[in-house]
Structure 1
C-alpha cells in the first residue's frame, strides 16, 4: 500500500426505488455514485452529506453503510470508498447548469453504461439489502463490466481495514 485515500459514495434512492447516478463530465464519462474525497479531519458520514449536497443540491436521509470498497493498483494511491445508503429528501438538481456531473435517476435493474465496476457492485449489494460489505478491487485489472470473479469478496472473513485520519 503506497498511500491511502478515503472517499465516499452514496446510493441515493427516491420513493420509486430509483438510484441517482452521476455521469463524469470528463475522461471516460462513466456513470458513478455521487460522492468524493474525505477531507482532512472530516468523518466519512460528514463527507457524504457534504458531497451529496454539493453534487445534487439536496439533503438526504442517511440510512446505513452499505460497505467499504478498497480500490488498489500499482502506481495508484489505494482508495477506500465508504458507500452509504441514503434516501432523497426533495428533488436533485438534475441537469442543472454548473454541476460537476450530469445527474439522472435510474431503475437499479436497468443501469446505464458505461459504469464504474465499483458502482455496479455497490448498487448490487444495496439492492440485495446487504450492509457491512468489505470488498477489494484491483484497479490494474478492473474491467469495464466485471463479474464476481473480478473482485476479492472478503465477506465473512476476518479483515483489518485501515482508514486514513
Structure 2
C-alpha cells in the first residue's frame, strides 16, 4: 500500500517530483505505508522526508487498486488532497537529495508528459474528484463505477 499527496498552486497546476534513482517517470510526493502506519500518516511522513514540509492533508481524492506485476505485488494507492500550497511552504521545499532530483509545477498536459500512463490517469481522476468534491475509485488507473 502507498499514499501520496497532490498539491496545487494558484494556477491549478500540480506538484510533481523527479526521483533521483533510476526511474523513467516523475511521481507524486509520497511512498509506501510502513507496518502499523496509517495511509494518511505515511503521506505526512513521506512529504516531510521528501520535501521537508510539515503538512496536514485534506480529504481522500482517489483509491487505486493496482494488480500484481512482475516484481511487484498488487496494492492500493491512496491520493490525498494537499490543497493549494502557500508561497511560504513552496519557498521552504528542501528536496531529499538521495530520493529526489527536482520538482516542478505541472499543467495537466505537462503531467501527462512527465508521469507514467498509470500515474497520469490517477492524476486526472484525482483532479476531477477534487473538482467534484468526491473520492474516485480506480482499478489500474481507470475509474470504475
Question: TM over 0.5: same fold?
Answer: yes
SS of the aligned residue for 1:118 comes to helix
CA contact under 8 A between 1:31 and 1:113: conserved in structure 2?
no
Partners of 2:12 and 2:143 in 1: CA distance = 26
* Structure possessing the higher radius of gyration over alpha carbons: 1
- Give 1:2-81 correspondences, 5 Å limit: 6-75=1-70, 76-81=72-77
Q: How does 1:1-165 map to 2 (within 5 A)?
A: 6-75=1-70, 76-87=72-83, 88-89=85-86, 90-91=89-90, 93=93, 96=95, 98-101=97-100, 102-111=102-111, 113-128=113-128, 129-130=131-132, 131-137=134-140, 152-155=142-145
- Work out the CA distance in 1 between the residues paired with 2:142 and 2:15: 26
Query: Would the aligned equivalents of 1:11 and 1:86 in 2 still touch at CA under 8 Å?
Result: yes
Q: Is the 8 A contact 1:66 1:122 kept in 2?
A: no
Shift of 1:80: 0.7
TM-score by length of 2: 0.79
Structure 2 unaligned runs (5+)?
Answer: none
Secondary structure, counterpart of 1:55 in structure 2? helix
Question: Greater share of strand residues, 1 or 2?
Answer: 1
2-structure distance, mates of 1:80, 1:118 = 13
Q: How many residues align?
A: 136
- The two structures, once aligned, show a CA RMSD in angstroms of 2.2
Q: Which has the higher helix share?
A: 2
Runs (4+) of structure 1 exceeding 6 A deviation are none
Contact 2:18–2:25, Cα closer than 8 Å, also in 1:
yes
The TM-score normalised by the length of structure 1 is 0.71
